[in-house]
Amino acid sequence: MKARLFFADAKVKKAFGKLSSSSKSEDEKIRGWLTKAFKEIQQDAFCGIQIPKRLIPKEYIKKYGINNLWKYNLPEGWRLLYSIAADEKNVVCIIIEWLDHKNYERRFGY
């Protein structure tokens, strides 16, 4: 079942837009990884690794009202975090953020 993708908020959407308009090689590389990940997630929303509910950062629960969190591993230690929701007809993936490994560990308190 195909999923529809949405950014969690305007800030996340704007961050992706900045990657798209940047000419920095690092930004182009990350944009390419994210674009590939978005396509794969649209094909199979459950292709990532589910994060146990007890490990979901409280900030995400409070800010986005999510009850599940998935991690998609990107190259070079980067992580894409998203949540999955559904209604009667559609699966919806909510892109929360992408982080390098250091910030990912910090976010989850590792």
Q: Which domain does 40 fall in, by range?
A: 3-108
User: Among candidates 88, 89, 74, which has minimal Cα distance to 41?
Assistant: 74
- Residue numbers in the chain where pLDDT is lower than 70: none
Check residue 63 and give its pLDDT: 95
Query: At 65, which CATH number?
Result: 3.30.2310.20
Element (H, E) at 93: strand 91-99
Q: Which two tokens stand for residue 29?
A: 């590389």
Q: Considering the chain, what is the average pLDDT of its residues?
A: 94
The Cα angle at residue 41 between residues 35 and 34, in degrees rounded to 5 = 20
Per the structure, the count of domains in the chain is 1
Q: Which residues pair with 80 in a beta bridge?
A: 72, 98
